[in-house]
């Protein structure tokens, strides 16, 4: 199975993730906007067991956003790395942290109902107001 390498801005944290995403998409929810500081978050979902920290566990920090979601970031440089979906044992990797190229590209926009009003989606990918079934 192909593995992809990822890292934070200061490179203290690195990880490997299997190139087998259950879901690849752009999330336009207001919380992703806050966490990424950008118009939307680009995420790839994998089973939690498919992601391994390979360096920097001592500087990794966690923020418990909700009952089901913990955000994982570098305490040194602040890079958003991935979220842990605790109730379903999955992780959503921020694709911008990858140093390798995943086989498939994101193919959907979610939570478009709360999209930033100053951002216009310019591609033809499907758009959902919230999370599709």
Please name which of 78, 79, 100 lies closest in space to residue 21, comparing C-alpha atoms: 100
Distances (CA, A) of 63 to 48, 71, 75: 17, 5, 11
71 counts as binding Zn ion under rule CB under 5 A: no
**Contact letters (x/-) for Zn ion, 4-23, by CB under 5 A?**
----x-x-x-----------
Which one of the spans 44-52, 75-83, 92-100, 118-126 is the region binding Zn ion (CB under 5 A)? Answer: 75-83
24 counts as binding Zn ion under rule CB under 5 A: no
Which one of the spans 15-23, 69-77, 98-106, 121-129 is the region binding Zn ion (CB under 5 A)? Answer: 69-77
Q: Which of residues 77, 88, 105, 116 is near Zn ion by CB under 5 A?
A: 77
């Amino acid at each position: 199975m192909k593995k992809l390498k990822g890292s934070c801005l200061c490179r203290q944290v690195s990880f490997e993730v299997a190139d087998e995403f259950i879901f690849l998409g752009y999330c336009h929810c207001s919380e992703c906007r806050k966490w990424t500081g950008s118009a939307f978050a680009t995420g790839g979902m994998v089973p939690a067991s498919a992601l391994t920290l390979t360096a920097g566990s001592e500087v990794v920090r966690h923020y418990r956003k909700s009952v089901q979601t913990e955000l994982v970031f570098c305490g040194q440089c602040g890079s958003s790395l991935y979220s842990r979906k605790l109730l379903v044992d999955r992780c959503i990797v921020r694709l911008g942290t990858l140093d390798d190229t995943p086989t498939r590209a994101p193919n959907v926009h979610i939570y478009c109902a709360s999209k930033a009003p100053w951002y216009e989606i310019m591609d033809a990918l499907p758009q959902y107001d919230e999370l599709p079934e």
